[in-house]
Amino acid sequence: MSTEESNVPPAGEDIHLPGGSIQPLLLTIGITMALIGITWQWWALVGGLALTIGTLFFWIRDAIDEYKHLPLDHGDGH
């Protein structure tokens, strides 16, 4: 077996897909509330910004955690 053939992943290897998440919906609601709050009520602006920032914080944290759990040889191009 040549060295190139040994680098081929086994047939039927699972493809990693992230699980479902409510974070995109919460981010959309937060941004919408903030935009409405600009022209309507200050509390809607503050609430929307808080929801947006909080959702982004947890989404980025989850993405970093998920990235850390990938196999070591992930994305090395060989």
pLDDT of residue 68: 84
Query: Rounded to whole angstroms, how far apart are CA atoms 44 and 68?
Result: 36
Query: What φ, ψ does residue 49 adopt, rounded to 5°?
Result: -65, -40
Give yes or no for residue 38 having a pLDDT over 90. Answer: yes
In the chain, where the domains are located: 22-66
Residue 52's pLDDT band, with cuts at 50, 70 and 90, is very high
Query: Average of pLDDT values for 42-64?
Result: 96
pLDDT of residue 22: 94
What is the pTM (predicted TM-score) of this model? Answer: 0.68
Residue 42's pLDDT band, with cuts at 50, 70 and 90, is very high
24-27's contacts with Cβ under 8 Å and 24+ in sequence apart are: 26/51, 26/55, 27/52, 27/55, 27/56, 27/59
